[in-house]
Structure 1
Amino acid sequence: MTLLESLHLNSLIIRVSLDFVQGRIVGGYTPSPNSVKYIVSLQSSKGQHFCSGSLVHKSWVLTAAHCNIGCMMVVAGDYTLGAYEGTEQYSKPLSLIPHPQYNRSTNNADIMLIKLGVPIELNRYVSLAPLPKQNAGLLAGSMCRVSGWGSTSHSGGLTPLTLRTVKLPIVSTSKCNSSNSFSGNITANMICAGSSTGGKDVCKGDSGGPLVCDGRVYGLVSWGNGCGDSRFPGVYTAVSRFLTKVNAKTYPEKKKSFYKNITQ
Protein backbone atom coordinates (compact mmCIF):
# COMPACT_ATOMS: atom_id res chain seq x y z
CA MET A 1 0.00 0.00 0.00
CA THR A 2 1.40 3.42 -0.97
CA LEU A 3 1.69 6.29 1.50
CA LEU A 4 -1.13 8.18 -0.23
CA GLU A 5 -3.40 5.12 -0.09
CA SER A 6 -2.55 4.65 3.58
CA LEU A 7 -3.32 8.28 4.39
CA HIS A 8 -6.57 8.13 2.44
CA LEU A 9 -7.61 4.96 4.26
CA ASN A 10 -6.78 6.57 7.58
CA SER A 11 -8.92 9.61 6.76
CA LEU A 12 -11.80 7.36 5.73
CA ILE A 13 -11.60 5.50 9.04
CA ILE A 14 -11.66 8.81 10.89
CA ARG A 15 -14.74 9.96 8.99
CA VAL A 16 -16.97 6.94 9.25
CA SER A 17 -16.28 5.52 12.72
CA LEU A 18 -17.15 7.38 15.90
CA ASP A 19 -14.68 5.20 17.80
CA PHE A 20 -11.84 6.47 15.63
CA VAL A 21 -13.05 10.06 15.25
CA GLN A 22 -12.92 10.45 19.00
CA GLY A 23 -9.76 12.33 19.92
CA ARG A 24 -6.89 10.97 21.92
CA ILE A 25 -4.48 13.61 23.22
CA VAL A 26 -1.12 11.88 23.61
CA GLY A 27 1.56 13.31 25.92
CA GLY A 28 -0.57 16.20 27.14
CA TYR A 29 -1.81 17.63 30.42
CA THR A 30 -5.11 18.50 32.07
CA PRO A 31 -5.85 22.25 31.87
CA SER A 32 -7.71 24.11 34.60
CA PRO A 33 -11.49 23.61 34.50
CA ASN A 34 -13.19 25.82 31.89
CA SER A 35 -9.92 27.50 30.94
CA VAL A 36 -10.48 26.65 27.25
CA LYS A 37 -13.81 28.45 27.23
CA TYR A 38 -14.51 28.37 23.48
CA ILE A 39 -14.16 24.63 22.88
CA VAL A 40 -17.36 22.66 22.32
CA SER A 41 -18.09 18.95 22.20
CA LEU A 42 -20.01 17.54 19.23
CA GLN A 43 -21.99 14.54 20.40
CA SER A 44 -24.04 11.88 18.67
CA SER A 45 -27.73 11.30 19.35
CA LYS A 46 -26.59 8.77 21.98
CA GLY A 47 -24.45 11.35 23.77
CA GLN A 48 -21.11 10.06 22.46
CA HIS A 49 -18.41 12.67 21.85
CA PHE A 50 -17.02 12.34 18.33
CA CYS A 51 -15.59 15.74 17.37
CA SER A 52 -14.74 19.12 18.83
CA GLY A 53 -15.31 22.64 17.59
CA SER A 54 -14.78 26.28 18.49
CA LEU A 55 -17.51 28.76 19.35
CA VAL A 56 -16.88 31.78 17.12
CA HIS A 57 -20.27 33.47 17.60
CA LYS A 58 -23.07 32.74 20.04
CA SER A 59 -24.92 31.05 17.15
CA TRP A 60 -22.01 29.60 15.16
CA VAL A 61 -19.41 26.86 15.67
CA LEU A 62 -16.31 26.27 13.54
CA THR A 63 -15.17 22.67 13.08
CA ALA A 64 -13.83 20.20 10.50
CA ALA A 65 -15.94 19.31 7.45
CA HIS A 66 -15.39 15.59 8.00
CA CYS A 67 -17.31 15.96 11.29
CA ASN A 68 -20.49 16.27 9.22
CA ILE A 69 -22.48 13.25 10.42
CA GLY A 70 -25.93 14.83 10.43
CA CYS A 71 -27.70 14.31 13.76
CA MET A 72 -25.70 15.80 16.62
CA MET A 73 -25.82 17.92 19.75
CA VAL A 74 -23.40 20.77 20.44
CA VAL A 75 -22.30 21.08 24.08
CA ALA A 76 -20.54 24.23 25.30
CA GLY A 77 -19.07 24.81 28.75
CA ASP A 78 -18.16 21.16 29.27
CA TYR A 79 -15.00 19.92 31.00
CA THR A 80 -15.49 16.29 32.00
CA LEU A 81 -17.74 14.42 29.60
CA GLY A 82 -20.39 12.29 31.24
CA ALA A 83 -20.28 14.25 34.50
CA TYR A 84 -22.85 16.99 35.09
CA GLU A 85 -21.00 20.11 36.24
CA GLY A 86 -23.71 22.76 35.91
CA THR A 87 -21.74 24.75 33.33
CA GLU A 88 -22.93 22.90 30.22
CA GLN A 89 -25.13 24.42 27.52
CA TYR A 90 -26.78 22.37 24.78
CA SER A 91 -27.88 23.36 21.29
CA LYS A 92 -28.97 21.34 18.26
CA PRO A 93 -27.72 22.56 14.87
CA LEU A 94 -30.08 24.22 12.43
CA SER A 95 -27.68 23.57 9.58
CA LEU A 96 -24.24 22.14 8.81
CA ILE A 97 -22.30 24.08 6.18
CA PRO A 98 -19.11 22.36 4.96
CA HIS A 99 -16.83 24.40 2.72
CA PRO A 100 -17.82 23.89 -0.94
CA GLN A 101 -14.24 23.00 -1.85
CA TYR A 102 -13.90 20.30 0.80
CA ASN A 103 -12.28 17.22 -0.75
CA ARG A 104 -12.72 13.91 1.05
CA SER A 105 -9.84 12.31 -0.84
CA THR A 106 -7.21 14.96 -0.13
CA ASN A 107 -8.73 16.44 3.06
CA ASN A 108 -8.32 19.89 1.51
CA ALA A 109 -10.64 22.65 2.80
CA ASP A 110 -11.62 20.50 5.80
CA ILE A 111 -13.66 23.22 7.48
CA MET A 112 -17.33 23.61 8.35
CA LEU A 113 -19.69 26.06 10.02
CA ILE A 114 -22.49 24.87 12.29
CA LYS A 115 -25.49 27.16 12.72
CA LEU A 116 -26.98 26.62 16.17
CA GLY A 117 -30.69 26.41 16.80
CA VAL A 118 -30.39 28.01 20.25
CA PRO A 119 -27.69 30.67 20.79
CA ILE A 120 -25.08 29.91 23.44
CA GLU A 121 -24.99 32.31 26.38
CA LEU A 122 -21.57 33.82 26.98
CA ASN A 123 -20.54 33.75 30.63
CA ARG A 124 -17.59 32.99 32.92
CA TYR A 125 -17.43 29.43 31.53
CA VAL A 126 -18.05 30.08 27.83
CA SER A 127 -16.49 32.66 25.52
CA LEU A 128 -15.78 33.16 21.82
CA ALA A 129 -12.66 31.85 20.11
CA PRO A 130 -10.26 34.56 18.90
CA LEU A 131 -9.39 34.05 15.23
CA PRO A 132 -6.36 35.15 13.18
CA LYS A 133 -6.39 37.66 10.35
CA GLN A 134 -7.03 36.48 6.80
CA ASN A 135 -4.03 34.55 5.41
CA ALA A 136 -1.98 35.08 8.58
CA GLY A 137 0.88 32.60 8.72
CA LEU A 138 2.97 30.95 11.43
CA LEU A 139 6.72 30.54 11.68
CA ALA A 140 8.17 27.05 12.02
CA GLY A 141 8.92 26.37 15.65
CA SER A 142 6.11 28.56 16.97
CA MET A 143 4.58 26.90 20.02
CA CYS A 144 0.88 26.17 19.91
CA ARG A 145 -1.55 24.08 21.90
CA VAL A 146 -4.41 21.81 20.95
CA SER A 147 -7.17 20.61 23.25
CA GLY A 148 -9.62 17.73 23.16
CA TRP A 149 -11.27 14.86 24.99
CA GLY A 150 -10.04 11.28 25.01
CA SER A 151 -7.43 8.86 26.25
CA THR A 152 -3.83 9.72 27.00
CA SER A 153 -2.37 6.70 25.20
CA HIS A 154 -3.01 4.26 22.38
CA SER A 155 -4.04 1.52 24.81
CA GLY A 156 -7.24 3.13 26.04
CA GLY A 157 -7.95 4.82 29.35
CA LEU A 158 -11.07 6.65 28.22
CA THR A 159 -12.35 7.32 31.76
CA PRO A 160 -12.66 10.00 32.97
CA LEU A 161 -13.18 11.96 29.74
CA THR A 162 -11.63 15.16 31.01
CA LEU A 163 -10.41 17.82 28.61
CA ARG A 164 -6.70 17.61 27.88
CA THR A 165 -4.21 19.89 26.15
CA VAL A 166 -0.87 19.29 24.48
CA LYS A 167 1.74 21.85 23.42
CA LEU A 168 3.21 21.37 19.95
CA PRO A 169 5.59 23.32 17.70
CA ILE A 170 4.68 24.28 14.14
CA VAL A 171 6.48 22.20 11.50
CA SER A 172 7.34 23.88 8.19
CA THR A 173 5.32 22.87 5.15
CA SER A 174 8.51 21.95 3.30
CA LYS A 175 9.56 19.52 6.03
CA CYS A 176 6.03 18.14 6.34
CA ASN A 177 5.91 17.61 2.57
CA SER A 178 9.30 15.89 2.38
CA SER A 179 9.71 12.32 1.15
CA ASN A 180 10.31 11.23 4.75
CA SER A 181 6.95 12.61 5.80
CA PHE A 182 3.77 13.32 3.81
CA SER A 183 5.45 13.36 0.38
CA GLY A 184 3.71 16.37 -1.13
CA ASN A 185 0.22 15.78 0.28
CA ILE A 186 0.20 18.94 2.41
CA THR A 187 -1.57 21.81 0.65
CA ALA A 188 -1.39 25.55 1.32
CA ASN A 189 -4.63 25.18 3.27
CA MET A 190 -3.01 22.97 5.90
CA ILE A 191 -0.74 23.44 8.92
CA CYS A 192 1.55 20.81 10.41
CA ALA A 193 2.37 20.66 14.12
CA GLY A 194 4.18 18.00 16.09
CA SER A 195 7.11 17.15 18.33
CA SER A 196 10.46 16.43 16.65
CA THR A 197 11.00 13.62 19.17
CA GLY A 198 7.49 12.18 18.91
CA GLY A 199 5.26 11.15 21.78
CA LYS A 200 3.05 14.24 21.68
CA ASP A 201 0.11 14.40 19.30
CA VAL A 202 -3.62 14.30 18.74
CA CYS A 203 -4.33 10.67 17.93
CA LYS A 204 -7.10 9.96 15.43
CA GLY A 205 -8.04 13.58 15.54
CA ASP A 206 -10.40 14.82 18.17
CA SER A 207 -11.36 16.19 14.84
CA GLY A 208 -12.31 19.82 14.47
CA GLY A 209 -10.63 20.81 17.73
CA PRO A 210 -8.71 24.10 17.97
CA LEU A 211 -4.97 24.55 17.40
CA VAL A 212 -4.25 27.75 19.30
CA CYS A 213 -1.18 29.86 18.53
CA ASP A 214 -0.54 33.34 19.94
CA GLY A 215 -3.93 33.14 21.62
CA ARG A 216 -5.85 32.59 18.37
CA VAL A 217 -7.37 29.54 16.70
CA TYR A 218 -5.10 29.09 13.69
CA GLY A 219 -5.96 25.47 12.97
CA LEU A 220 -8.59 22.75 13.21
CA VAL A 221 -7.60 19.14 13.85
CA SER A 222 -7.97 17.46 10.46
CA TRP A 223 -5.94 14.31 9.75
CA GLY A 224 -2.67 12.46 10.21
CA ASN A 225 -0.81 9.18 9.96
CA GLY A 226 -0.42 7.30 13.23
CA CYS A 227 -0.04 8.95 16.63
CA GLY A 228 3.00 10.62 18.12
CA ASP A 229 5.33 9.59 15.27
CA SER A 230 8.00 12.26 14.81
CA ARG A 231 8.01 11.64 11.04
CA PHE A 232 4.32 12.47 10.70
CA PRO A 233 3.15 15.62 12.50
CA GLY A 234 -0.55 16.22 12.98
CA VAL A 235 -2.24 18.04 10.10
CA TYR A 236 -4.61 20.92 10.75
CA THR A 237 -6.86 23.02 8.53
CA ALA A 238 -5.40 26.54 8.24
CA VAL A 239 -8.30 28.68 9.47
CA SER A 240 -6.83 31.95 8.18
CA ARG A 241 -7.09 30.67 4.60
CA PHE A 242 -10.88 30.46 4.77
CA LEU A 243 -12.12 33.48 6.67
CA THR A 244 -13.21 35.49 3.62
CA LYS A 245 -12.76 33.05 0.73
CA VAL A 246 -16.33 31.76 0.70
CA ASN A 247 -18.20 30.75 -2.42
CA ALA A 248 -21.07 33.26 -2.69
CA LYS A 249 -23.16 30.87 -4.77
CA THR A 250 -23.02 28.17 -2.11
CA TYR A 251 -23.15 30.39 0.97
CA PRO A 252 -25.96 32.94 1.29
CA GLU A 253 -24.89 36.54 1.86
CA LYS A 254 -25.59 36.29 5.58
CA LYS A 255 -23.09 33.47 5.99
CA LYS A 256 -20.59 35.16 3.71
CA SER A 257 -20.78 38.29 5.88
CA PHE A 258 -20.40 36.13 8.98
CA TYR A 259 -17.11 34.70 7.73
CA LYS A 260 -15.93 38.23 7.06
CA ASN A 261 -17.10 39.65 10.36
CA ILE A 262 -15.54 37.03 12.62
CA THR A 263 -12.07 38.22 11.60
CA GLN A 264 -12.69 41.70 12.95
Structure 2
Amino acid sequence: MHALHKLLLFHLLTSLGQDALGGKIINGEKAPENSMLYMVSLQNSRGQHVCGGFLISEDFVLTAAHCDKHLTHVILGTHDLSRVPDGNKRFIESRHTYPSYKRIRLGKDIMLLKLSEKVQLNNNVQTIQLPTSETNIGDMKNAKVISGGPLVCNGKAVGIVSFNRAEVCDYPDFPNVYTDISNTLPGISFILNE
Protein backbone atom coordinates (compact mmCIF):
# COMPACT_ATOMS: atom_id res chain seq x y z
CA MET A 1 0.00 0.00 0.00
CA HIS A 2 1.33 3.47 -0.88
CA ALA A 3 2.69 5.40 2.12
CA LEU A 4 0.20 8.25 1.82
CA HIS A 5 -2.70 5.81 1.78
CA LYS A 6 -1.35 4.18 4.93
CA LEU A 7 -1.18 7.58 6.60
CA LEU A 8 -4.76 8.33 5.65
CA LEU A 9 -5.94 4.93 6.84
CA PHE A 10 -4.06 5.29 10.11
CA HIS A 11 -5.50 8.69 10.81
CA LEU A 12 -8.99 7.65 9.86
CA LEU A 13 -8.81 4.71 12.24
CA THR A 14 -7.31 6.57 15.19
CA SER A 15 -9.42 9.74 14.91
CA LEU A 16 -6.84 11.74 16.83
CA GLY A 17 -6.51 15.46 16.28
CA GLN A 18 -6.92 19.01 17.45
CA ASP A 19 -8.21 22.19 15.89
CA ALA A 20 -6.05 24.55 13.86
CA LEU A 21 -5.59 26.95 16.75
CA GLY A 22 -4.63 24.23 19.19
CA GLY A 23 -7.53 25.01 21.52
CA LYS A 24 -9.43 21.77 21.32
CA ILE A 25 -8.37 18.14 21.56
CA ILE A 26 -10.72 15.46 20.30
CA ASN A 27 -10.24 11.76 21.13
CA GLY A 28 -6.79 12.50 22.47
CA GLU A 29 -5.15 14.03 25.49
CA LYS A 30 -3.08 17.09 26.24
CA ALA A 31 0.62 16.35 25.82
CA PRO A 32 2.64 16.55 29.01
CA GLU A 33 4.66 19.73 29.31
CA ASN A 34 8.21 19.38 27.92
CA SER A 35 7.32 16.19 26.03
CA MET A 36 7.62 17.65 22.49
CA LEU A 37 10.60 19.97 22.77
CA TYR A 38 11.00 20.13 18.98
CA MET A 39 7.66 21.88 18.34
CA VAL A 40 7.60 25.54 17.30
CA SER A 41 4.87 28.09 16.70
CA LEU A 42 5.13 29.89 13.35
CA GLN A 43 3.90 33.44 13.85
CA ASN A 44 3.14 36.60 11.91
CA SER A 45 4.28 40.16 12.68
CA ARG A 46 1.39 40.63 15.12
CA GLY A 47 2.57 37.66 17.20
CA GLN A 48 -0.33 35.46 16.12
CA HIS A 49 0.11 31.72 15.74
CA VAL A 50 -0.26 30.75 12.04
CA CYS A 51 0.97 27.17 11.87
CA GLY A 52 3.03 24.58 13.65
CA GLY A 53 6.49 23.42 12.71
CA PHE A 54 9.33 21.43 14.19
CA LEU A 55 13.02 21.99 14.75
CA ILE A 56 15.25 19.64 12.74
CA SER A 57 18.59 21.37 13.35
CA GLU A 58 19.86 24.30 15.39
CA ASP A 59 18.91 26.71 12.60
CA PHE A 60 16.18 25.03 10.51
CA VAL A 61 12.47 24.44 11.09
CA LEU A 62 10.45 22.08 8.89
CA THR A 63 6.80 22.83 8.17
CA ALA A 64 4.22 22.69 5.39
CA ALA A 65 4.74 25.02 2.42
CA HIS A 66 1.13 26.18 2.58
CA CYS A 67 1.87 27.72 6.00
CA ASP A 68 3.86 30.55 4.38
CA LYS A 69 1.30 33.24 5.22
CA HIS A 70 3.15 36.39 6.29
CA LEU A 71 5.42 34.49 8.69
CA THR A 72 8.06 36.58 10.41
CA HIS A 73 9.31 34.51 13.33
CA VAL A 74 9.07 31.31 15.34
CA ILE A 75 8.54 30.70 19.04
CA LEU A 76 10.13 27.65 20.60
CA GLY A 77 10.75 26.13 23.99
CA THR A 78 7.35 26.74 25.55
CA HIS A 79 4.22 24.74 26.18
CA ASP A 80 2.18 27.92 26.67
CA LEU A 81 2.31 30.66 24.01
CA SER A 82 1.10 33.22 26.54
CA ARG A 83 4.35 32.67 28.50
CA VAL A 84 7.29 32.91 26.11
CA PRO A 85 10.66 32.94 27.88
CA ASP A 86 13.21 35.56 26.82
CA GLY A 87 15.39 34.31 23.98
CA ASN A 88 12.82 31.85 22.62
CA LYS A 89 11.94 33.93 19.56
CA ARG A 90 13.87 33.58 16.31
CA PHE A 91 13.25 35.55 13.14
CA ILE A 92 13.00 33.77 9.81
CA GLU A 93 16.01 34.54 7.64
CA SER A 94 14.92 32.64 4.53
CA ARG A 95 12.28 30.24 3.20
CA HIS A 96 12.98 27.17 1.10
CA THR A 97 9.86 25.67 -0.44
CA TYR A 98 10.30 22.20 -1.92
CA PRO A 99 11.03 22.77 -5.66
CA SER A 100 8.14 20.69 -7.03
CA TYR A 101 5.52 22.15 -4.66
CA LYS A 102 2.77 23.93 -6.61
CA ARG A 103 -0.25 23.75 -4.34
CA ILE A 104 -1.43 21.73 -1.40
CA ARG A 105 -3.34 18.94 -3.10
CA LEU A 106 -0.54 18.17 -5.58
CA GLY A 107 1.86 17.04 -2.84
CA LYS A 108 5.38 17.93 -1.71
CA ASP A 109 3.86 20.40 0.78
CA ILE A 110 7.16 21.01 2.57
CA MET A 111 9.08 24.14 3.46
CA LEU A 112 12.29 24.68 5.40
CA LEU A 113 12.69 27.89 7.36
CA LYS A 114 16.23 29.07 8.06
CA LEU A 115 16.39 30.92 11.35
CA SER A 116 18.26 34.21 11.77
CA GLU A 117 20.40 32.71 14.51
CA LYS A 118 21.04 29.23 15.82
CA VAL A 119 18.99 27.87 18.68
CA GLN A 120 20.74 26.74 21.83
CA LEU A 121 19.61 23.16 22.47
CA ASN A 122 18.78 22.63 26.15
CA ASN A 123 16.19 21.11 28.50
CA ASN A 124 13.39 23.11 26.80
CA VAL A 125 14.45 23.01 23.15
CA GLN A 126 15.49 19.92 21.17
CA THR A 127 15.50 18.77 17.57
CA ILE A 128 13.62 15.78 16.18
CA GLN A 129 15.16 13.25 13.82
CA LEU A 130 13.97 12.72 10.27
CA PRO A 131 13.75 9.26 8.74
CA THR A 132 16.99 8.14 7.10
CA SER A 133 15.27 6.38 4.21
CA GLU A 134 11.77 5.45 3.10
CA THR A 135 9.89 4.72 6.26
CA ASN A 136 7.58 1.75 6.60
CA ILE A 137 4.63 3.52 8.09
CA GLY A 138 2.52 0.39 8.27
CA ASP A 139 3.37 -0.08 11.94
CA MET A 140 1.93 3.09 13.44
CA LYS A 141 1.14 1.86 16.95
CA ASN A 142 3.64 4.34 18.43
CA ALA A 143 2.56 7.28 16.26
CA LYS A 144 1.65 10.72 17.55
CA VAL A 145 -0.21 13.25 15.43
CA ILE A 146 0.21 17.00 16.08
CA SER A 147 -2.24 19.23 13.76
CA GLY A 148 0.08 21.85 11.89
CA GLY A 149 3.21 19.80 12.76
CA PRO A 150 4.72 16.38 12.34
CA LEU A 151 3.40 12.85 12.33
CA VAL A 152 5.86 11.23 14.72
CA CYS A 153 6.54 7.51 14.73
CA ASN A 154 9.17 5.82 16.88
CA GLY A 155 10.74 9.17 17.74
CA LYS A 156 11.13 10.36 14.13
CA ALA A 157 9.12 12.90 12.14
CA VAL A 158 7.75 10.84 9.23
CA GLY A 159 5.01 13.16 7.93
CA ILE A 160 3.83 16.77 7.88
CA VAL A 161 0.20 17.79 8.22
CA SER A 162 -0.76 19.08 4.76
CA PHE A 163 -4.51 19.48 4.51
CA ASN A 164 -7.92 18.27 5.49
CA ARG A 165 -11.43 18.85 4.21
CA ALA A 166 -11.99 22.60 3.84
CA GLU A 167 -9.48 23.30 6.63
CA VAL A 168 -12.02 22.02 9.15
CA CYS A 169 -10.65 19.89 11.95
CA ASP A 170 -13.93 18.25 13.01
CA TYR A 171 -12.61 14.79 13.71
CA PRO A 172 -13.34 11.95 13.31
CA ASP A 173 -15.40 12.81 10.24
CA PHE A 174 -12.46 13.71 8.01
CA PRO A 175 -8.79 12.77 8.27
CA ASN A 176 -5.73 14.92 7.75
CA VAL A 177 -3.58 14.27 4.70
CA TYR A 178 0.17 14.18 5.28
CA THR A 179 3.24 14.79 3.16
CA ASP A 180 5.61 11.82 3.44
CA ILE A 181 8.97 13.25 4.57
CA SER A 182 10.98 10.26 3.34
CA ASN A 183 10.05 11.09 -0.27
CA THR A 184 11.63 14.54 0.06
CA LEU A 185 14.85 13.68 1.94
CA PRO A 186 17.22 14.50 -0.97
CA GLY A 187 15.77 18.00 -1.30
CA ILE A 188 15.84 18.57 2.45
CA SER A 189 19.46 17.39 2.68
CA PHE A 190 20.47 19.66 -0.21
CA ILE A 191 19.02 22.74 1.52
CA LEU A 192 20.50 21.84 4.92
CA ASN A 193 23.96 21.40 3.42
CA GLU A 194 24.02 24.56 1.25
Please state how far the C-alpha of 1:233 moved relative to its aligned partner: 2.1
Residue 88 of structure 2 is aligned to residue 89 of structure 1: yes
Aligned partner letter, 2:135: A
Is the Cα contact below 8 Å between 1:77 and 1:87 reproduced in 2? no
Any unmatched runs of 5+ in structure 2? Answer: 1-18
> Take 2:64 and 2:33, find their aligned partners in 1: how far apart are those partners?
24
Tell me: CA distance 1:41–1:139, structure 2 relative to 1, closer, same or farther (3 Å). Answer: same
Is the Cα contact below 8 Å between 1:76 and 1:88 reproduced in 2? no
The count of residues paired between Structure 1 and Structure 2 equals 172
Is the Cα contact below 8 Å between 2:128 and 2:157 reproduced in 1? yes
Match of 1:109 in 2: 108
Is the Cα contact below 8 Å between 1:40 and 1:55 reproduced in 2? yes
Write out the 4+ residue segments of structure 1 that deviate beyond 6 Å after TM superposition. none
Give the match's secondary structure for 1:72.
strand
Is the Cα contact below 8 Å between 1:220 and 1:236 reproduced in 2? yes
Please state how far the C-alpha of 1:102 moved relative to its aligned partner: 1.0
The TM-score with structure 1 as length reference comes to: 0.59
> Take 1:220 and 1:103, find their aligned partners in 2: how far apart are those partners?
16
> Take 1:88 and 1:146, find their aligned partners in 2: how far apart are those partners?
28
Match of 2:154 in 1: 214
Give the match's secondary structure for 1:56.
strand
> Take 1:259 and 1:28, find their aligned partners in 2: how far apart are those partners?
37
Please state how far the C-alpha of 1:107 moved relative to its aligned partner: 4.2
Match of 1:37 in 2: 37
Rg comparison, structure with higher value: 1
> Take 2:93 and 2:108, find their aligned partners in 1: how far apart are those partners?
22
Aligned partner letter, 1:215: G
> Take 1:26 and 1:129, find their aligned partners in 2: how far apart are those partners?
25
Is the Cα contact below 8 Å between 1:54 and 1:129 reproduced in 2? yes
Tell me: CA distance 1:239–1:48, structure 2 relative to 1, closer, same or farther (3 Å). Answer: same
Please state how far the C-alpha of 1:35 moved relative to its aligned partner: 1.3
Give the match's secondary structure for 1:109.
coil
Is the Cα contact below 8 Å between 2:66 and 2:104 reproduced in 1? no
Is the Cα contact below 8 Å between 1:96 and 1:113 reproduced in 2? yes
Alpha-carbon deviations, 1:152-207, whole Å to 9, x = none? Answer: xxxxxxxxxxxxxxxxxxxxxxxxxxxxxxxxxxxxxxxxxxxxxxxxxxxxxx42
Is the Cα contact below 8 Å between 1:134 and 1:242 reproduced in 2? no
Please state how far the C-alpha of 1:70 moved relative to its aligned partner: 3.4
Aligned partner letter, 2:156: R
Residue 168 of structure 2 is aligned to residue 234 of structure 1: no
Tell me: CA distance 1:113–1:257, structure 2 relative to 1, closer, same or farther (3 Å). Answer: closer
Is the Cα contact below 8 Å between 1:131 and 1:217 reproduced in 2? yes
When the two chains are superposed, the root-mean-square deviation of aligned CA atoms in Å is 2.4
> Take 1:88 and 1:27, find their aligned partners in 2: how far apart are those partners?
34
Match of 2:164 in 1: 224
Matches within 5 A, 1:181-220: 206-207=147-148, 209-220=149-160
Match of 2:21 in 1: 22
Is the Cα contact below 8 Å between 2:39 and 2:55 reproduced in 1? yes
> Take 2:87 and 2:180, find their aligned partners in 1: how far apart are those partners?
28
Match of 1:258 in 2: 192
Alpha-carbon deviations, 1:241-260, whole Å to 9, x = none? Answer: 1111x2xxxx9xxx616269
Please state how far the C-alpha of 1:229 moved relative to its aligned partner: 2.9
The TM-score with structure 2 as length reference comes to: 0.79
> Take 2:42 and 2:153, find their aligned partners in 1: how far apart are those partners?
23
Match of 1:59 in 2: 59
> Take 2:117 and 2:138, find their aligned partners in 1: how far apart are those partners?
38
